[in-house]
């Protein structure tokens, strides 16, 4: 019996007879025993989970039986992606944003968009991306969007705040939850790694930072894995923060993007609080 037949059997049960619990489980019941509770509850009296009236517990009638409901399938893909994004460190407000919602007029953003559209080539060919420039121009946002594109294309991706990660490695020196090699390995395995705000730890941990950089980049380079770095630095400052060996492994197969457009943060943040601030000022009689 195929899975679809078993399910069709569960959804269209034969005239109700009282189950004999002492009997071994039938095929359909065994199947039910293995499906999640949420679906199990829906199975005896099928109800639409996706809002489509033709959908019964995630299945719709089709010629010759039932098939997976496309709306439920899309919803579950969205949930799965959300899980993957969260595991990739893509969370919070930057995660909510998609390409359709950002300004793409500035050349830096047009270039980022083109990389996103061609994320398969970026990952397959191990193309690095260095996004440098002033605060609030969208470097982190662009890195997050590229990671989402990679995940959507079924690659593994990880977004890491560089300073936080260096801190973690440093404080783990005494706690020993993970060895340094294990910390490094988490960054070397993903198909696409976004190292956000590189060099931000430079002042307090310059030498360790460069050492870690050399290990992470060295191992990624050996596998020709794509790495995106963002930095609020100039090119030469970035080179200094990364150390020459790491920089040399990145720079030759690298797309540079200088984010020197408008400060989107200024726009986003002003818009976020403007109504409340105006109300407060009115209340203050200003
Ligand atoms: N092209 C864009 N269109 C609309 N909003 C944008 C765009 N780029 C960035 N933003 C928004 O601007 C804010 C700041 O962006 P982001 O944090 O990526 O800047 P950044 O360049 O990484 O800054 P920093 O150097 O301080 O880390 C975020 O809220 C982001 O969603
Ligand atoms: Mg940033
Ligand atoms: Zn459905």
Q: Is the C-beta atom of 136 inside 6 A of ligand 1?
A: yes
214 contacts: CB under 8 Å, gap ≥ 6: 243, 245, 246
Residue nearest to atom 4 of ligand 1 (CA): 102
What is the per-residue pLDDT for 4?
45
pLDDT tier at 286, thresholds 50, 70, 90: confident
- Pairing mode, strands 157-161 and 192-196: parallel
* Distance from Cα 139 to the centre of ligand 1, integer Å: 6
pLDDT at 7: 39
49: pLDDT strictly greater than 50: yes
**C-beta 108 within 6 A of ligand 1:** no
Q: State the average pLDDT over residues 62-86.
A: 83
- Closest ligand 1 atom to 102 CA: 3
- Pocket flag, ligand 1, residue 94 (CB < 6 Å): yes
d(CA 85, CA 159): 9
Whether ligand 1 lies within 6 angstroms of the CB of 221 is answered as no
Ligand 1 lined by 109 (C-beta under 6 Å): yes
Confidence of residue 201 (pLDDT cuts 50, 70, 90): low
Q: How far is CA 133 from CA 130, 140, 229, 259, in A?
A: 10, 11, 12, 5
pLDDT at 130 > cutoff 70: yes
Pocket perturbation via mutation, ligand 1, pick of 107, 233, 241, 268 by most ligand atoms within 8 A of CB: 268
Which is it for the CA torsion 126, 156, 243, 229, positive or negative?
positive
What is the overall mean pLDDT for the chain? 81
Q: How far is the CA of 197 from the centre of ligand 2 (A)?
A: 6
Query: Does pLDDT of 231 surpass 90?
Result: yes
Those residues with Cβ within 8 angstroms of residue 257's Cβ, 6 or more apart along the chain or in another chain: 108, 111, 112, 129, 130, 131, 132, 133, 142
Answer whether 264 contacts ligand 1 (Cβ < 6 A): yes
User: What percent of the chain has a predicted confidence (pLDDT) above 90?
Assistant: 40
Provide the CA 25 distance to its chain's centre, in angstroms: 41
How many angstroms is it from 11 CA to the middle of ligand 2?
51
pTM equals: 0.74
Tell me what pLDDT residue 27 has. 42
* Window from 68-82, 107-121, 157-171 with minimum mean pLDDT: 68-82
179 CA → ligand 2 middle, Å = 28
Establish whether residue 140 lines the binding site of ligand 1, counting it when its CB lies within 6 angstroms of any ligand atom: yes
255 C-alpha to center of ligand 3: Å? 43
Q: Is residue 46 scored above 70 in pLDDT?
A: no
Nearest CA to ligand 1 atom 8: 138
In this model, does residue 268 exceed pLDDT 90?
A: no
What is the percent of the chain with per-residue pLDDT over 70, rounded to a whole number? 79
Give residue 33's pLDDT: 36
Q: Which residue puts its alpha carbon closest to atom 1 of ligand 1?
A: 103
Looking at the CA of residue 131, tell me the nearest atom of ligand 1.
21
> Which ligand is nearest the CA of 271, by number?
1
Which domains does the chain show, CATH number per domain? 3-75 (no CATH), 91-262 (3.40.50.300)
Write down the pLDDT at residue 206: 73
Mutate to test the pocket of ligand 1, among 136, 139, 237, 263 (most ligand atoms within 8 A of CB): 136
Coil/strand/helix, residue 177? coil
Q: Is the dihedral of CA 23, 27, 32, 34 positive or negative?
A: positive
């Amino acid at each position: 019996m195929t899975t679809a037949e078993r399910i069709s059997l569960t959804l269209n049960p034969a005239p109700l007879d009282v189950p004999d619990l002492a009997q071994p489980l039938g095929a359909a019941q065994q199947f039910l025993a293995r499906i999640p509770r949420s679906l199990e509850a829906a199975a005896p009296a099928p109800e639409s989970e996706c809002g489509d009236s033709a959908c019964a517990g995630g299945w719709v009638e089709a010629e010759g039986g039932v098939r997976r409901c496309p709306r439920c399938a899309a919803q579950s893909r969205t949930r799965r992606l959300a899980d993957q994004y969260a595991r990739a460190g893509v969370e919070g407000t930057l995660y909510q944003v998609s390409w359709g919602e950002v300004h793409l007029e500035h050349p830096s953003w047009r270039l980022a968009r083109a990389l996103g559209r061609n994320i398969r080539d970026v990952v397959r060919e191990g193309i690095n991306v260095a996004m440098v420039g002033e605060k609030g121009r969208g470097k982190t946002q662009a890195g997050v969007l590229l990671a989402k594109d990679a995940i959507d294309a079924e690659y593994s991706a990880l977004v890491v705040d560089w300073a936080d990660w260096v801190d973690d490695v440093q404080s783990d020196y005494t706690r020993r939850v993970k060895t340094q090699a294990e910390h490094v390995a988490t960054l070397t395995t993903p198909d696409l790694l976004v190292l956000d705000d590189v060099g931000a730890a430079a002042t307090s941990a310059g030498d360790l930072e460069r050492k870690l950089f050399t290990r992470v980049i060295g191992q990624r380079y050996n596998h020709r894995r794509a790495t995106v770095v963002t930095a609020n630095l100039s090119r030469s400052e970035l080179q200094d923060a990364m150390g020459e060996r790491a920089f040399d492994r990145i720079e030759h197969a690298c797309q540079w993007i200088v984010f020197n457009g408008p400060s989107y943060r200024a726009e986003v943040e002003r818009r976020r609080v403007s109504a409340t601030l105006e109300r407060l000022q009115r209340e203050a009689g200003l």
